[in-house]
Amino acid sequence: MSNLQSIKARFGIVGTSHLLDAALETAVRVAPTDLTVLITGESGVGKEVFSKIIHSLSSRKHNEFIAVNCGAIPEGTINSELFGHEKGSFTGAINDRKGYFETVNGGTIFLDEIAEMPLDTQSYLLRILESGEFIRVGASKTQKTDVRVIAATNVDLEERVRKGKFREDLYYRLSTVPIRVPALKDRREDIPVLFRKFVYDFAEKYRMQPIRLDDRAELVLENYRWPGNIRELKNVAEQISVLSEERLITAEDLSRSMPQLFNRNLPVVSEFQGQGHKNGGEFQEREILYKVLFDMKNDLNELKGMFYELVKSNNLRMPEVASMRQLQPSFSGSYPRETVTQLEDHFYPAATDHDRMTPIIIEPGKSAGGFDKTEEEEAPLAMDEIEKEAIKRALKKYNGRRKEAAEELRISERTLYRKIKQYDL
């Protein structure tokens, strides 16, 4: 573990995610060998950093390292770039030119976006991996090179193989040791720490006081999908640092300046987004509630049944319906009136003449034998109570282990810890 910490410090890697640590451990183990490595992961997760770690911990560390973006080189010139060319081999070839595999002999070459490599170039690369031999464009003489290849991609190479766009033999030759770099959404516990690092870096760069996030703003960042991963998080940190006048950033500030951070994938909210709703982030603290509301429907009906049984057995008087409505969860407050109306319509649909419930009045001393279970009203519990009950159940299920409970509830450990303190659980 101490070795991993030193590597993280050396290469500026921030995070404690077990997925990140597993990827780093694999990189450290394979580094002293000459095995070919295939690094996979979404765009912006830091795949090139892993290639540099492998090179720096290998026996080739004193030789050259070069990173080549295969997707950025035109198809007509990539063979020349990688393997070199002879004078006069094509229009514009006025001199002999060495390719990367020749100039980096004895070192490491990192081929990023390997899936974008043309099929003919793939066959030349396969030959290098198998025998170390290559031929310059326009030449007839075979040359030898000793280069370690580390490849990376953000697409499914197996799918590309099935579609005939990537050589199957090259795929298996490249993936001798696969390393999967986790996406930011899979290591949400690292988001606040990464954000603070970027904020302090930009504060030093621009000579300003670093910004801070309140709890709700931090929760917004933790629950965002981050399709651009660490690269996108870094850009967000820089924009907020430079453009914000206030140094304490609230969720409302983020909503005004960066509404994209509030894009959600929740089933209830997406219905409103289709109607032009743009403030899904106002529900970031209620994500857990949307998850458990429907799962707890049976439990709620049982509780209501028990309540009516208590009323019946004790000859109690039911309160007026108007007063009962006051106990239902309110979506008012800081939410827009349109959103409030949509949520109320969703959770409290207007009753028809057929299903409207008549208040049950049980006078002391009178029988309640006329109670009909079909008269139950679907009155939701208070939202905070639902949230509290869900957290209690998850903690009980996992014997108090917060990490597993947080995964069950689909929230971060930090959020769960704050909720435990809030509800004094």
Query: What is the reported pLDDT for 422?
Result: 82
Q: What gap in Å lies between CA 41 and CA 117, rounded to an integer?
A: 17
Report pLDDT digits (tens) over 73-118. Answer: 999 899 999 999 998 888 888 889 999 999 999 999 999 999 999 9
Q: What gap in Å lies between CA 83 and CA 134, rounded to an integer?
A: 7
Report pLDDT digits (tens) over 14-71. Answer: 999 999 999 999 999 999 999 999 999 999 999 999 999 999 999 999 999 999 999 9
Average pLDDT (237-266) is 88
Q: Which amino acid is at 315?
A: N
Would you say 183 and 82 are in contact if contact means Cβ atoms under 8 Å apart? no
Identify the burial level of 218 via C-beta atoms within 10 angstroms of its C-beta, where 0-12 means exposed, 13-18 middle and 19 or more buried.
buried
Report pLDDT digits (tens) over 86-97. Answer: 988 888 888 899
Chain region(s) in the chain for CATH 3.40.50.300:
2-182
Taking each helix axis as running N to C, give the angle between helix 2-11 and helix 18-30, from 0 to 180 degrees, rounded to the nearest 10: 90
Residue 232 token pair: 């996108």
- Collapsing DSSP states into helix, strand and coil, what is residue 40? strand
Q: What gap in Å lies between CA 129 and CA 151, rounded to an integer?
A: 12
Average pLDDT (243-253) is 92
| pLDDT over 90, % of the chain | 57
Number of other CB atoms surrounding residue 141 within 10 Å: 7
The shares of helix, strand and coil residues in the chain, as percent rounded to the nearest 5, are: 55, 10, 40
Query: What is the reported pLDDT for 122?
Result: 97
Q: What residues are paired with 149 via a beta bridge? A: 109
* Greater pLDDT, 334 or 189: 189
Query: What is the reported pLDDT for 113?
Result: 97
Report pLDDT digits (tens) over 138-195. Answer: 998 999 999 999 999 999 999 999 999 999 999 999 999 999 999 999 999 999 999 9
Q: Which CATH architecture describes the domain 382-425?
A: Orthogonal Bundle (1.10)
142-144/133-135 β-pairing: antiparallel
**Average pLDDT, rounded, for the chain:** 80
Chain region(s) in the chain for CATH 1.10.8.60:
186-263
Query: What is the reported pLDDT for 406?
Result: 80
Phi, psi at residue 172, to the nearest 5°?
-70, -30
Query: What is the reported pLDDT for 393?
Result: 84
Report pLDDT digits (tens) over 342-391. Answer: 545 554 455 444 444 444 444 444 444 444 444 444 444 556 777 788 88
Average pLDDT (214-242) is 94
Identify the burial level of 149 via C-beta atoms within 10 angstroms of its C-beta, where 0-12 means exposed, 13-18 middle and 19 or more buried.
buried
Of the ranges 206-210, 220-224, 407-411, which one carries the lowest mean pLDDT score?
407-411
Q: Per-residue pLDDT for 265 more than 70?
A: no
Query: What is the reported pLDDT for 88?
Result: 83
Query: What is the reported pLDDT for 312?
Result: 66
Q: Per DSSP, which regions of 224-366 are E strands?
A: 248-249
DSSP-assigned letters across all residues of 74-125: -TTTHHHHHH-B-TTSSTT--S-B--HHHHTTTSEEEEETGGGS-HHHHHHH
Q: Which CATH architecture describes the domain 186-263?
A: Orthogonal Bundle (1.10)
Global pTM value:
0.63
Nearest to 56 by CA among 1, 12, 118, 17: 12
Chain region(s) in the chain for CATH 1.10.10.60:
382-425
Question: For residue 47, what are the contacts with CB-CB under 8 A and spacing of at least 6?
Answer: 39, 40, 41, 112, 152, 154, 181
Would you say 6 and 144 are in contact if contact means Cβ atoms under 8 Å apart? no
Taking each helix axis as running N to C, give the angle between helix 383-397 and helix 413-423, from 0 to 180 degrees, rounded to the nearest 10: 110
DSSP-assigned letters across all residues of 257-298: H-GGGG----HHHHHHHTTT---GGGGGGGHHHHHHHHHTHH
Fold of the domain spanning 2-182: Rossmann fold (3.40.50)
Residue 326 token pair: 């006051």
Query: What is the reported pLDDT for 89?
Result: 83
Of the ranges 95-109, 227-241, 259-273, which one carries the lowest mean pLDDT score?
259-273
Residue 139 token pair: 């030449």
